[in-house]
């Protein structure tokens, strides 16, 4: 997450393990309003039919619902064998993962969140999150 944010000119501040009281792993810091991010890493779920469903714990939903800034949930699908998570080369390290991210919606994401191919995480996603945060700050959306 930190690398992706840095690539597009944003910063990611990770929540200390001892301070994870809001079910938030970190914050993408933008000039006018931050976006809170929860990251779930899994090898258990498959992307079946271009959909991935993440079950939600009630305690997460309760905390995200009262957040005054957008909460983005990111799901990182990793191989089941841990050594297969990364490819190492002299010139680069490449993750063998795919990530999806979208805004938590308290009205519809009550027990689970569904991610589709349109939620695939890219550098453009970070810009979209910034635009969403600014629209919320300006009262354009809630």
Delimit the domains of the chain by residue range: 2-137
- CATH topology for 2-137? Trna Endonuclease; Chain: A, domain 1 (3.40.1350)
- Say if strands 71-77 and 51-55 run parallel, antiparallel, or are unpaired: unpaired
pLDDT digits (tens, 9 = 90+) for 96-133: 678 899 999 999 999 999 999 899 999 999 999 999 99
Q: Is 64 a residue whose pLDDT tops 80?
A: yes
Using CA atoms, how far apart are residues 30 and 36, in angstroms rounded to an integer?
11
Give residue 77's pLDDT.
82
Which percentage of the chain shows pLDDT scores above 70? 85
The CB density around residue 70, as the number of other CB atoms within 10 Å, is 20
């Amino acid at each position: 997450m930190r690398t992706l944010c840095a690539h597009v000119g944003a910063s990611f501040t990770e929540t200390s393990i001892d301070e994870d009281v809001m079910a938030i792993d970190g914050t993408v810091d933008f000039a006018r309003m931050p976006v809170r991010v929860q990251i779930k890493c899994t090898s258990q779920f498959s992307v079946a039919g271009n959909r991935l469903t993440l079950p939600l714990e009630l305690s997460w939903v309760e905390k995200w619902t009262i957040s005054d800034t957008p909460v983005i949930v990111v799901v990182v699908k990793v191989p089941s064998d841990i050594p297969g998570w990364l490819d190492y080369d002299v010139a680069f390290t490449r993750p063998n993962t795919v990530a999806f991210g979208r805004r938590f919606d308290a009205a519809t994401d009550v027990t689970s969140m569904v991610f589709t191919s349109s939620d695939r995480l890219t550098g453009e996603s970070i810009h979209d999150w910034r635009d969403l945060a600014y629209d919320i700050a300006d009262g354009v959306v809630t």
